[in-house]
Amino acid sequence: MSIRPVTITGEPVLHHRAVEVEAFDDELRTLVEDMYETMDAAHGVGLAATQVGVGLRLYTYHFPNEDDVPERGVVINPQLTLSKVSGAEPDPDEETEGCLSVPGLSYPLKRAEWARVKGYDVDGNPLEFEATGWFARVMQHEYDHLDGKLYVDRLNDRWGKRARKQVKKEGWGVPGLTWLPGTDPDPFGH
């Protein structure tokens, strides 16, 4: 197992749809173990394969929940069904997200309060569960990565403008930028 560098917005793999996993083999198991180690070192609640430079449709998560779902897992080739997203303004105190690929920044975003998640585990066994509240938010956030979207791409005009300005100020938005959890300073101050 090893910690992998986390890609920063602007890296092409983050902005293209990932491809389906076809082989449930030792190479996949190694990737998943590396993703767990990277997610843990980064103090993340989720990590998509695209965030470690791999264009495959899978993500890991570690999030305590009240949905009777193990708090740590992997979802491979996920499918999400969502409840309706409210059209109200996001609450900056209750609905603010961050992302390891937009390190150190966070902005308010509305998400669906419920998600049905279908996919496969690392051995190719089918899995299906429901997620609510913040756990549903984590599932949506990671799933978006697999479709080439970052949470900042979904922000409303007010917050999106601020995010774009900060990304530009940081010098991001170009290929080749990464940070290494456990080695580089923690951008979220954990």
* Residue set of the binding site: 99, 141, 145
> For this structure, is 130 an active site residue?
no
The token duo for 106 is 């966070």
Choosing from 95, 130, 142, 170, which is the catalytic residue?
142
Strands 102-108 and 58-62: unpaired
Residues 6+ apart with CB under 8 A from 101: 6, 7, 8, 9, 11, 14, 51, 145, 150
In angstroms, what CA-CA distances link 18 with 23, 39, 69, 165? 15, 19, 25, 27
Please state the residue numbers annotated as binding site for Fe cation.
99, 141, 145
Largest interatomic CA distance in the chain: 45
Active site residues: 142
